[in-house]
Structure 1
């Protein structure tokens, strides 16, 4: 790790983490030996660390599994750091004695030199740099050797404890505010779903099975050997579910290799998840087998009306539930759509509903943007407070 350049207050010093603590990783007993699993010893995985106290875990190992593997039993109140995987850099504090997998590093500090929560807060403040320094391949991979070389700004123990108490008070208030804002977003989403559902509870018009007024057309899957990263003459973009969220994985295929095409205004359904039954639109190209196109009889049903109807919570819950219960079915069960009824009002009423949904969407997006900006601001404030704390300015 590159040396930290800023100067420290009198009485503080830069010390390597290895001077102040010991680091140890866990291990995984053989999965093929049933005697090693299902015991009474909690076994914590890196994915179960979430910058909070570890109060539950999914798996348990036996004494035999502990003795016959590189797993180790760490004491309650130990500080844990996720070394790799999706949660790399996340921290946790054990609330009970537990073993961990090899993707978790246990940091045991010298209590006479370093307060655990002082170290926890410092590692939290340095996470971005730790991840950037340790990035390798597709995922961050933080080595124990790197962890041991982290430079720690170290004041006297009494000052560490004072700083921790101050950070506890300040950051708890900020986290509480963020939780309230997140609840506001969740309530907004619930309200949107509730109102959207109400728009389609129409008692004064006929309701018919979906498949009577909508054709559901599955996609095709050209062989990957024919994929091209660049568009060539006669080639068309191959649309996959992920393409509706990002342009980072664009591929093209020979247009002669498929007969399944979609346009930006077509209503598309993601057959597989998570989550299943995503309702999508906005891209031109050929579409693959993970998608199907919902083609309404436009004499009686508009695409926009169908687009929002398929997103209403009632049909979403119905289709997802049926798909999850169907034996061997990992995605949308097309038969579930055959029986589901869709109200078919006049096109004037359909257009009116679409307009009202559009207004609701705009209000929801404006609220979400405002609340998200507040959450971002509070997170920046947290980072600023942490930065000040470890420069002796708190």
Structure 2
């Protein structure tokens, strides 16, 4: 895709980047080969660690070459860039200000020049062939100073909103802990639910169409790409609309935890349990019990990266409060209302964050058109 060029003020000009900067390949440095130190180690999407020696001793802009292609990071200190990124050298510091170039790189959408494939990447020559709107050096300095001031305020506002977002998410988790860990008829899960294992399937048993949908983890989060089965199984291997399911292996915050199945009769896969109440328990209270266990399992695994797993024995050993049916309904109603308010608040905060990010992009566009 050809770069869009706008008309510029009279004392500005377009200059090819290859006349202004050099882009150097980073050098591989595996985590096991790093010696923890004061030097930041940059990958394609930012700092990935530290080291005790640098690859480049001057301030630079690091540009993602593979993975997060085109993502720009600014380093004022000596640094090491690994082989998934480039680091930039300014040819003449009296012609181009490094921070001015950083803002250009941060604004530029590298998808227009990225090479498609399993691992997208950008070619150095393609990047160096881009045109940079170049004002006089004093004007570059003025623009950088103004952008720094504006973005400091915007980034501070975004940071505060993100803190509010974390707080709003934790409110529900705190309420769950308060409701389900009271000394009111404390009962282990194995006395409340039958925990039925899903079934593993051979490839030949998974069909493109058939009598029953086969629920996989991705389907619990709204994925519509289903396999099907014509197998007739034990009744415990099916779930009906309204049944409680628990994904015991998944990503915290997305695919791990409690779900309600709201579709036709289906078969659930191996990494999913069906949680069938064996005592009188209000349906929504049962759901919130399992949501509490989801939050507790995630909290216990804090600091562990990647997929989260819990065993059936661990699930059955969780102890929760099981008050009277009437009290269960009251608690479930309160939690439903709190969850709705929490979701509305998170949506509102997330919308404000996105608006501020759009504002930053709009300010950058104005800056490089000479309108700031």
Q: TM-score, normalised by structure 1?
A: 0.82
SS at match of 2:291: coil
**Pairing partner for 2:178 from 198, 201, 208:** 198
**Pairing partner for 2:189 from 185, 189, 210:** 210
Partner of 2:218: 242
Partner of 1:27: 27
Quickly say closer, same or farther: Cα 1:140–1:198, change in 2 above 3 A: same
Q: CA deviation at 1:59?
A: 5.5
Task: Write out per-residue CA displacement over residues 339-359 of structure 1, whole angstroms, 9 at most, x where no aligned residue.
Answer: 322222222211111111111
Cα contact 1:209–1:339 (8 A) shared by 2 = yes
Gaps of 5+ in 1: 63-71
**Pairing partner for 2:229 from 230, 237, 254:** 254
SS at match of 2:249: coil
Gaps of 5+ in 2: none
**Count of equivalent residues:** 363
Task: Write out per-residue CA displacement over residues 190-239 of structure 1, whole angstroms, 9 at most, x where no aligned residue.
Answer: 22221222222443x422221012111121221235444x4x243x3322
1:85-164 equivalent positions in 2, closer than 5 A: 85=67, 87-110=68-91, 111-127=93-109, 130-134=110-114, 136-164=116-144
SS at match of 2:300: helix
Task: Write out per-residue CA displacement over residues 148-201 of structure 1, whole angstroms, 9 at most, x where no aligned residue.
Answer: 122111111111111111111111111111111111111112222212222224
Partner of 1:270: 247
Partner of 1:65: none
Q: Distance in 1 between matches of 2:301 and 2:61?
A: 43
Q: Distance in 1 between matches of 2:6 and 2:23?
A: 26
Q: Distance in 2 between matches of 1:162 and 1:319?
A: 48
**CA-based RMSD:** 3.0
Q: Distance in 1 between matches of 2:321 and 2:69?
A: 48
Cα contact 1:21–1:107 (8 A) shared by 2 = yes
Cα contact 2:44–2:85 (8 A) shared by 1 = no
Cα contact 1:300–1:344 (8 A) shared by 2 = no
SS at match of 2:88: strand
Q: Distance in 2 between matches of 1:296 and 1:319?
A: 23
Q: CA deviation at 1:124?
A: 1.6
Partner of 1:391: 369
